[in-house]
Every structure is written in C-alpha cells, then in structure tokens.
Structure 1
C-alpha cells in the first residue's frame, strides 16, 4: 500500500515538474513573442496617420468656394481647436482610463472575452480610444478575431510612436458622427452650424453620444434617444469628476438648435475655375488624384468673387437664352498674372468642357498686336505707310496664291499708316507686314508672348488662322498692359497640407521680355480702335462700344467665320472674351458677332467700379507728337484732324503734313487784341 502511494506521489511530482517546466517554456515563448512583436513594431516605426480629408478651395479673400471629398466630410483640426467639453465627454464615455493605460484596458478586455465565449461569437467590445483610432485608420469594422489581432498590433505601434495628445486628436478627427460627417469639426458644423471649439456642454454631450450608433442616437434621427444618451454621458462626466451635478443639470435643460446642414455645400461657385485649379494641382504641382480629392489640402486661389459674379452674370444677361452660341471669359491682373475671373461656358451642368483653357480657336485679328509689336522691333513705327487695296500674293516656291480680303471688301485704295491699319483692322496691311518680316518672326513672337499652340508658317497666320487658347491670349495682352514684363496665368497662390504646412507657394516674379517703350507704343496704338479720329475708309472697330466707356482702354477685336473675340485692358485689368459655336458653325448674324465686344465692355466697366481711373503712362524713351492720322506726318494748324501719337524717341516723324495747304483759303485777318487798360484808368471807366 505504501509502495503504491509513493509511486503515485512520484508520478504526481513528475507531472507537476513537467507542468512547471512547460509553463516556464510557455512564459519564455510568450516573452520572446511579445518582445519580438514589440521589436518588430518598433522597427516598423510610426504608422502613417493620413486619412481621407476634404480638400478646400479658397478665393483670394479667404472665402471657401469649393470642396473635394469622397462623401466623407472631414476637416482636421488640432486638439486645442476642439471644445474641452467634447474631449472630456468622449474620454468619459469611451475610455475613462485613456491617459493611464498603454493602449489596452485589460479589465474590460477580460469582461468582453467572457461575454464572447458565453455567446460563442464576437458580441461585446472593449476597445480603447487607441484601438478605435487604429481601426478607423487601417482596418475594416467587421467583428472577427483576425481583425482584432491586427487592431492590437496597430494599437501597439500607435502607442509606441505617438503621444496621448496626438492619438486623441487623431481619434476625434476620424470618428464617424453620422450623416457623412467624420471628425469633430465636420460634425459640429453639420449638427450645430459652428466650429468645434465653440461647442457648449449641452451640445458636446449630445455629440459625444452619436458615435455609438448614428442611426439611433443622432438628434436628427431621434431626439429622444439622443437625450437619453446625453444623460448617461453627463452622469459619467460627473462620476469621473469632469463636471459637477449642477453643470450636468444645466446641460440637460440647455436649448439646442440643430442645423443638419453640411458646410460648403454650394458647388456652383466658379465651377470652370475650380476644374482649372484641379488640373493645375495635377500638372504643375504633380499631385495625384487621391491627394487632390482626399488629402485635406487648403488651396488658396486667385479668384475674385466679385469679378467672377460679374463675368457670369454678364454672359447670362447678354446672350439670348435660346442661342446655341457659347462663350468664355478670362480676366487677369496684368502685374502678376493672377486670374481674377474665369468662365468656361454658359452652363457647367450641361457642358463642363472648359472653353477658357481647353478650347483651341482661331483668334482672328486679335493676333495683329503681336505682329505689329514684331514690326516695331524691326523698324516700323505707327506712321509707317503701306497700301491697302485688293492684293493677290504669289510665291516662288510653288505655294498657292493667296488673296486675303478686308471685311465687307472695303479698302482704302491708297496708303495708310500702321496705327490706322490696326484701328480699322486692315488685313492687307497685316499680311504685307507679316511677309515682309518673314513668317518665322510672328511664330517666334507668339512663343515669346506665351502662346503654346502650334503656329502654322503661312501668310494667313497674320490674320489669326492658327488656333489659340483664351487664357493664353489674355496672358499675352497682360504683357502689353504691364509694360513688357513676362507673366504666366496664376490660379493658385498657396497650398497647405492637412497639418497646415505650406507645400507650394507661388513666388514667380514678372521679368522684362519686351522693350518698355515699344510695349507702350503698341498699347497706345491699341487705344486707337476706340478713337474715331482714326476713321478712314471704314470706322474703327471699337465704334459700337465707345459710348459705354468711362475710362481709357487698349484692345483689339477679332473675328473669323466661326469665332468672335474681344481682348483689352486698362493698367489694372485685362480680359479676353470669346464667343462662337462649339461645333464650328459659321457666325452669320451681326448680333452674334457683337456678343464678344458687348460682354467685354460691360464686364470691364462693372469690374472697374471702385477702382481709380488710370491712364497708360509713357515710359522713358518715348515721345508723343500730334500727327495727321491719314498720313502719319506731323500735324499742322491746317490739318482738320490731329491725334497725339507716341513713338520711340528718335523715330517720330519730322516731316509736316502739307496735304491741306492746297485747299486752305486765305486766312482771315487776325483781330487785334484789345489793349489792356491800366488798373487806375479802370476805376474811372463808367462805360
């Protein structure tokens, strides 16, 4: 009997030793595994905290004009920008030991584990704020053991690499509050129409209850359930010593105003401009589509909301609603290239095709100022004469004959000046100048002025038969307007990432590419399209809008069979307007051809309201003299019409006009000036 008992004890001892050894081995393995996991987590470093956030677009005065998102409204804000009431309420109801644990609340985990085992399913959660944040960042929300293990690993990485403040800030910016609102800021704006830092205790305790189940506890779904949840949250805040009972009672009875509307829901503000900005972010800043749409960027643009509204309203008001003619407009600040207004079509919903930046259309005679600038560089002056008459150009290199025509087949049939040729838009003068300079000259000049489209080296290039973009033509005229400095169209002033770091800032400065004196001479020539003194065999091309002008403008109109243009500027603003048919239908009606000019002058006049009236100041190296517009010679007292015209110093005409001497009648004898009486005689003059 004793022998059997001893054998049993010896066997039991062996089992105990075996169990002890196995336990030690198990603990060692567990320690090794845990150490390995921690080491691996440390080696991996901090997990990225990037989450989808709304990208916001701002006008030049800081007004939000648009937003990009994937249905998740989220605006990242720092923890200091969230109401302390919401912070305390969230910690109190979600994870009261947040500041003391290392990412896991083991007591809660044990309780949840027992409940899950009893139910043989994942029925109860014990996730801390750190765990929920890990899930929001990296994982789906299905209740599986595999997901929980991944969640635990990401939680470890978060706790190892980020402070409690950073984790709490991230959690409050990623948690879902229902109705498409992610994060405290978006939720506060949606439910209460105010930023998160302004939330009261009553509002914060309502909001803190929503994440448990937005379909149940949202005040928009059930105010009764929301108030029940609010009471629970306030009670936990009292228990956890965040507030006292009196504050809780006040919060329960606090009147609430529920807005239920997302911030920045308007999408109609400058839609074509916003599309152009997105394109610039992609092509110029090399940002990918996801970053643009969901990167939480703040994009500060150049658009002026007043000018944009004027542009849109002017086009809508002046073009007949039943007309199929399309229109585009670009206005720019000529000093820095900032685009202040951009319209790419009459209706974005019907056609998002952006005619201001995408369409390539024939510019017609708006190309002539670039040609004549090149002529000025090659010795021409505003008084250079050439004959305007029906002309057929023949070439030695087997090219076809070319016979350009003037509008309505009207010609001077005599010599005219370059200033008058521009004002009347004489095509014969333009083609002669183009061929005299050589076809390469205008091609190279167009590139200098920033035109990127292909220019065909043909005689008709002088008449604008090679396509251009509206925004590039506006930019080209900006170079004239600012005195010859190179600018490029600027849509974006600055871009910040979701942290507020500046990732792009436009610092381009204008630099001279034209001779200032020649740029001014060209500008002064372009004021001629609004000056009846330059009328000749036909009227100046700007005659129909002269009476609408309240200040000095320079510009040029242009037209082809399918396109109508007007581009012009003051010292403060340049704008380009195109009208025409998308499908290239011919413009037959006179009224249709006048749309561009009428839109342009109304936009310019309204956009300039409140701006000081400024003229174009002649720079050093220029001289202004009065000339006879018909022959470009110095005007005399006998000339019936004389116009102040500017030249580069040393190129002004020296010959006086003698055309009117033959027709001058004998001058009447000058009346003798009355002699001035001494003051003392006036005292006694009673007559």
Structure 2
C-alpha cells in the first residue's frame, strides 16, 4: 500500500475517493447544468428529498449558508404610515356602523318597554291626606303631600323664571332635549373631573317624575328622552312648565310648589317672595339634603346661587338679587311640629271606619287647636328636659278635650321622631288613685254624701294590707277628706262597701272601655286603662253628668269640596245625676285646694281633679278639669320601670298647670256645674262640725296633722266595719 501511494504521488495517478465528500464534489453543477429562466421547476423540491445519512467514520465538512436575496423595496409613493391610516379609517367606519346599530337597538329596546305613546296620559296623583286644625290651618299630611294645582298665570312671574334660570335656561328654545345643554354639561363635568352639571331639561325632569323611576341607568335615560320628545309634541311650553311646577318634588313629602310653599313658608305659592321662590327652585337639585326645615344654611346658600342665575338671565336686577341675599328666607315651624303626628296617626287608624278606603286626596278637618297643641308639646318636653334625670322619668303624654269630648290637644310622647308609639291612645297603664272618683261616685249613688265618715286605719284583707302613701292614719274622716288626701284605706273600704262590681259598672258607664277586674284593689286603680278613655270618663263631671265620646274628626271632604263625612251631633245620655255630679265636683275641688294637687291653680277659675300614683311610683297622673277643658297628664317609663318617687302631685300637676293657664287666657270664666238648691254640698267646716268625736280630724287642710281616732260616734266608722267588709267580700251576701 505504501508503495502504491508513492507511485501515485510521483506519477500523478488519481485514486478513487469514497464517502460524503466525494459525493458532494461530484454533484457540483456547471453553468450548463443550471435551469434556464422560464422553464418549469422540478416537481420535487430538494427540501423533500430524503437526506443521505453520513457514516459515523467520515468527516463531514460544514456547509456555508446560502445568502438570501434582498427583499424588494416598496414602490415609490406608498408607505407603512399610509397603510396604517387606511386600516384605522376602515376599522373606525366599521366600529362606528356597529355602534350606530347597537344604539338604535338600545333605543328600540327602551321604547319597546314603554307603554304605547297613544295610551300615555298624565297619571293621577297618589291620594294625600291633609289634616287641618279647627281654625283651618294645616297640621300634618299623610301620603305624598300635594297641594292644589295652580295655573301658571296665578303665580308670580319670578317663580317659574327661578326654575328656568337654574334648571333649564334654554327651555323655550329646545325641543325637549337640549344638545347644547348636554355638551355644556359634558365639558363642565370633564373640567371638574366629576358630575358637576346635568343636561336634563325641565321636560325630561317632568317625564321622569310622571312616568319613570328615579334609578340612574342608560335605559331609563333613553326612556326619559323619548318621553320628553312626546311631551313636547303633545303639550305647549306653558302647559309643560305648569305641569312641572305642580308635580316636582320639594322634599319633606311635598309635591308641587303649592304644597312646598305651605310646608316651608306657611303660605300659598301665590304669595311667595323672590327669595322664597329662589329657595324653592334650589330645592329641586337635592330636595332631601337642601330642605330648609332640615338644612337652613344649605338651603340659603343654594338660594343665593339661584338668585345669581336669575340676575344673570336678566329675570331680576342685580340690586334685587343682592337685597334678597342680604335677607335670606327662613322656613316657618308648623304648629305642634312633631307631636301633632301622634294625632295624625290616630286619625289614620279611624279613617277607614269613617270613609272606607282612601282613593283620592282628602282634607280631614279636626278639633285640634294648633296653639294649644304647641303649648302642650312645650309643656311636656320642657318638664322632661328639666327633671327627667332627677326623677328617672323618660316619657310623658297629655290629652286635653272640651267637656263634650272634642280633643283640643294630644301629645303621645316627648319625641315623635324617636318613638311613634302613642302613649295617649295606645298605651294602657295603671291609673292609681286617679281611679278613685269612680269609687266615690258609686258610693254617692248608693246614698253616701261628701260628709259621710269612714275610718282611716290599717286594713288586713286576707293578708293584703293596703297602706296610705305616707303610712299615716287619721281615724274617722269624711269622704271629701279621704278623696282630697288620697287615703287608700278609706277608698278600699268604700269600694268593698259598695261592691267592686258596681265600681266597674260605674267606670264603664262613664266611658272606660278597658277590661277592669272587680277585686278589692280596683279602688286603688290596679286595672290598666288608656289616657284617652280616662280623660273622657272625667268629662261628665265637668258637663253636668252627660256622656261623651272623645273625638277629633269633624269633617272629611275631597280637594274639590265634596263632603265625605260629617260628625253628627249626638244626643248624650245622662250618665250621672246632676245632683251627684255636683257633689263629686265639690269633693274634687278640695283636691286642688288642700289635697294632693295644691300646686294646680288657674287664676279666676274653679277647677277640680284627682292625682294618681301607681305601685312603686311607676306611673304619675293628674286629671283635672274646668267648665272649659278636661286635661290629663301622665309621666313614666315605657318599660314600666319605677321612677324615683315621681308622684301625681308633682311633675304632672306642674305640666297641667302650665298648659291650663295658657289654655284659659282670654276665655270667659265659667263655673263647674253645681247642684240646684242652696246648701246641698256643705263646706268642709260644716262637715268637720258634724264629726262629734273629740279626736276627729280638722278640715282637710289640717287633716295630715291629725292623729288616728278610735271614735265610734258614727256607726259607719265603728271598728267592727273591717270585719263587716271582709265578711261581705269573702263571705256570704248581705
């Protein structure tokens, strides 16, 4: 082999080569082997040929990459930017078309959910219950307060202009939708980076108030716009403005300018000033937040903005605007602002019985005196504010009515906003000693008299031992003294003597409707009653013995004057004989002269009444009356917890006196009904002179200092009477 290689090199002989390198060398093409241009390419590409697997022992030379042909340059006049702009325009047009299609679809969908345009009518207002006092003034409203419709021509010209100036300056130029106003609002909102202006026209606001809800959605806005266009086609601008002013919401339940003017300024919309008109127009933006009775500062500031807009629109002069800004309008406080709502609730409870279901707005005329309602409210609130902590008393109530049962004032609690529970009508409490007049009236009807003597001494009834408040005992006392000093043992003895069942019958006859238990403790007022029925049951004492039905509604009519109900004059029954009523008046007068209600006094007037304190000082009462008014006061706690020794002769008497003195100012003095014939009701001096026992108490004025007496000068006062009462109650019949 070595010799052969040597020969090859010297002789130039070519040796055959094997392997991939040799094969690649043989495959090199000459120029004549290349495919001429234009001829068909081979059917199979080189990329699809099966590669030759090299032997592992052969050396494979690295193949150099073939250079790529340069990309052709774009033709002159065309650029990438031109192509991009074209594509942007194309897609913008496509998106725009789809957007228009989507918008049209949404509009069609929103319109499809509206009632047919031809069936749209201005809806009726929801029924409103307007409650007025006996003087015609508005006390309260129930439902959505809507004042009477007022024609545009009847309003002062600056009132509608105030709304146009602040809400829709281009009202008379647009067609229901204001594109310029919308654009202006958009610009303002963008600049302020929030919602600072709205683009709704007065017509759109009217459409929303009449037909739509208050939700803020795109569908609702589209419906609002469609309805605004319909309103503009159907009604004139003046009609739309008039509808708007009579339907827009002003807060505090007031719909329409008339209701709002009455609510906030106590006058008709026909009489509002420029400043008041500006304040009303300013409320539309946020009626709950800007109501002048809740936020006077905010309402005044908003009114200044409206006045400036009116001056800018040349509706008023700059001087007028500045004058009104210097003297802002103030909302009036309605009489009995809060507590009169207890009256309104009571009326709502009886309304269905009087007129049935309310389907249209009505006016309920009542017996309430707004001035007395305010006095009663102040008396309760001020007394509790001053002494509620000291005596642990949290609530109070007051009812005042005429001797024929017409309620003049009612306070069901110290704060209606905190508690709507009516303690004057709904609550039932133990009246305590305020129930005793029914016991003594029963005794008088069975033949006893104010000077009849009964024993005031400890009493034991099968383990029950009633005691006097002071735990003092005065021996033989007259019924007048016993009632004036509220002696419990005497009341129990008399109650057992006349019979608890007869006492219950007497109370029911006079007007108590609650269930009463005929037991020995009935004389001490242990059965619960409501204040309204207790005060009503005292009324016969003040009117000569005639029955009364406490009432507050006199007439009910529609807004157009149609009469729905009128209280008919009743023929009262004689529930107390005049002679007996006169004796009871004489006895209860002494309670205010020398008894437990000595602080109760009305200058120039004869008054009578009775205090009451329930067990553990849980309730404090005073029911007092003149020939003009019968008034009851209660103080206590809703949870029936004991007070800190609050008695009927304390806080209730103070409230009663404050109220009654104000209520009797300027009223001609009248006396309580008296018995016919002189000498029928003896004086206390005469009563005292008839008691022959040397230790008998002096007249009621000094009875508290008297010592217990064991005298049996009168058979009724004998010590054996206790045994007789026990035998009657728990033994056989007598």
TM-score (norm 2): 0.58
| Maintained 8 Å contact 2:162/2:306 | no
Tell me whether 1:175 sits opposite 2:237 in the alignment.
no
Please, which of 473, 477, 481 is the counterpart of residue 538 of structure 2? 477
3-state secondary structure, aligned to 1:576: strand
Does residue 138 of structure 1 match 2:211? yes
Aligned to 1:424: 485
1:309 and 1:489 map into 2 onto residues whose CA distance is 20
Match for residue 614 of structure 2 among 560, 585, 589: 560
What is the root-mean-square deviation of aligned Cα atoms in Å?
Answer: 5.8
Match for residue 276 of structure 1?
342
- 2:670 is aligned to 614
Work out the CA distance in 1 between the residues paired with 2:511 and 2:548. Answer: 9
> Does the Cα contact within 8 Å between 1:385 and 1:418 map onto a contact in 2?
yes
1:78 pairs with 2:150: yes
Deviation at 1:362, TM superposition (A): 1.5
What is residue 124 of structure 2 aligned with on the other side? 49
SS in 2 for 1:624: coil
Task: Name the CA distance, whole Å, in 2 between partners of 1:489 and 1:180.
Answer: 30
Tell me the SS of whatever aligns to 2:450.
Answer: coil
1:586 Cα deviation (Å)? 4.2
Q: 1:632-647 to 2 correspondence within 5 Å?
A: none
Structure 1 unpaired stretches of 5+: 1-38, 99-104, 113-124, 235-247, 394-399, 533-539, 644-657, 660-687
Counterpart residue number, 2:269: 196
Maintained 8 Å contact 2:363/2:556: yes
Q: Residue 343 and residue 183 in structure 1: after superposition, are their counterparts in 2 closer, same or farther (change >3 A)?
A: closer
Check the 8 A contact 2:131/2:141 in 1, yes or no. Answer: yes
Cα pair distance change 1:319/1:45, threshold 3 Å: same
Which deviations, in whole Å up to 9, do the C-alpha atoms of 1:38-75 show, x marking residues without a partner? x9999x7966420587x6655554555556678xx864
Measured after TM superposition, the shift of residue 560 of structure 1 is 2.8
SS of the aligned residue for 1:284 comes to helix
Match of 1:3 in 2: none
Give the aligned partner of residue 515 of structure 1: 576
Q: Structure 1 residues 351, 94: CA separation in 2 closer, same or farther (over 3 Å shift)?
A: same
1:8-19 map, 5 Å: none
Task: Please identify, of 148-157 and 182-191, the stretch whose mean Cα deviation from structure 2 is larger.
Answer: 148-157
Judging changes above 3 Å, is the alpha-carbon distance between structure 1 residues 348 and 280 closer, same or farther for their aligned structure 2 residues?
Answer: closer
Corresponding residue for residue 383 of structure 2: 315
**Which residue is equivalent to 1:305?**
371
Q: Which has the larger radius of gyration?
A: 2
Counting only pairs closer than 5 Å after superposition, residues 335-354 of structure 1 correspond to structure 2 as: 335-346=403-414, 353-354=421-422
Give the whole-Å Cα distance in 2 for the aligned partners of 1:304 and 1:78.
Answer: 27
Aligned length: 549
Query: CA offset at residue 610 of structure 1?
Result: 3.3
For 1:66 and 1:278, locate their aligned partners in 2 and report how far apart those are by CA, in whole Å.
Answer: 7
1:17 aligned partner: none
Displacement, 1:173? 0.8
Report the equivalent of 1:120.
Answer: none
Aligned residue for 2:527, secondary structure, equals: coil
1:267–1:175 distance in 2 versus 1, CA, 3 Å: closer
Identify which of 367, 370, 373 aligns with 2:435.
Answer: 367
1:380 aligns with 2:448: yes
Corresponding position of 1:243: none
Find the residue that maps to 1:448 and give its secondary structure.
Answer: helix
Structure 1 residues 66, 193: CA separation in 2 closer, same or farther (over 3 Å shift)?
closer
Within 1, Cα distance between the matches of 2:409 and 2:542? 17
- In structure 1, which of residues 558, 577, 590 is the aligned counterpart of residue 633 of structure 2? 577
Alignment of 1:53-64 (within 5 A): 58-62=132-136
| SS in structure 2 of the partner of residue 328 of structure 1 | strand
**5 Å matches for 1:179-328?**
183-185=256-258, 195-198=268-271, 254-255=320-321, 257-258=324-325, 263-264=331-332, 266=333, 269=336, 271=338, 273-286=339-352, 302-306=368-372, 307-308=375-376, 311-312=379-380, 315-316=383-384, 319=387, 321-326=389-394, 328=396
Task: Quote how far apart the aligned CAs of 1:600 are.
Answer: 3.3
Query: Does 2:474 align with 1:406?
Result: no
Contact 2:249 2:256 in 1 (8 A): yes
TM-score, reference length from structure 1? 0.61
Name the CA distance, whole Å, in 2 between partners of 1:209 and 1:577: 43
1:468 aligns with 2:543: no
Which position in structure 2 is the counterpart of 1:594?
A: 650
Structure 1 residues 428 and 89: alpha-carbon distance in aligned structure 2, compared to 1, 3 A threshold: closer
Per the TM alignment, residue 302 of structure 1 is displaced from its structure 2 partner at its CA by 0.4
- Measure the CA separation in 1 of the matches of 2:286 and 2:596: 69
Query: Cα–Cα, structure 1 residues 277 and 181, in superposed 2: closer, same or farther, change >3 Å?
Result: closer
The 3 A distance-change label for structure 1 pair 482 and 168 is: farther
- What secondary structure sits across from 1:49 in the alignment? coil
CA shift at 1:556, angstroms?
A: 1.4
Per-residue deviation, 1:514: 1.6
Corresponding residue number in structure 1 for 2:459? 391
Retained in 1: the 8 A contact 2:393–2:643? no
Q: Is the 8 A contact 1:51 1:174 kept in 2?
A: no
Q: Compared with structure 1, are the counterparts of its residues 463 and 163 closer, same or farther at alpha carbon in structure 2 (3 Å cutoff)? A: farther
CA distance in 1, matches of 2:655, 2:283: 52
Secondary structure at the aligned position of 2:512 is classed as: coil
Q: Distance in 2 between matches of 1:211 and 1:330?
A: 39
How far apart are 1:481 and its partner, in Å?
Answer: 0.9
In structure 2, C-alpha distance between the alignment counterparts of 1:206 and 1:391, rounded to whole Å: 71
Deviations 1:610-668 (A, max 9, x none): 33333224255x653474858959979xx99999xxxxxxxxxxxxxx99xxxxxxxxx
Tell me the CA shift for residue 475 of structure 1: 1.9
Distance (whole Å) between structure 1 residues aligned to residue 278 and residue 376 of structure 2: 42
Distance 1:592 1:263 in 2: 39
Q: Paired residue for 2:292? A: none
TM-superposed deviation, 1:497: 5.4
Report if the CA contact (8 A) 1:529-1:556 is conserved.
Answer: yes
| Separation of aligned partners in 2, 1:268 and 1:474 | 23
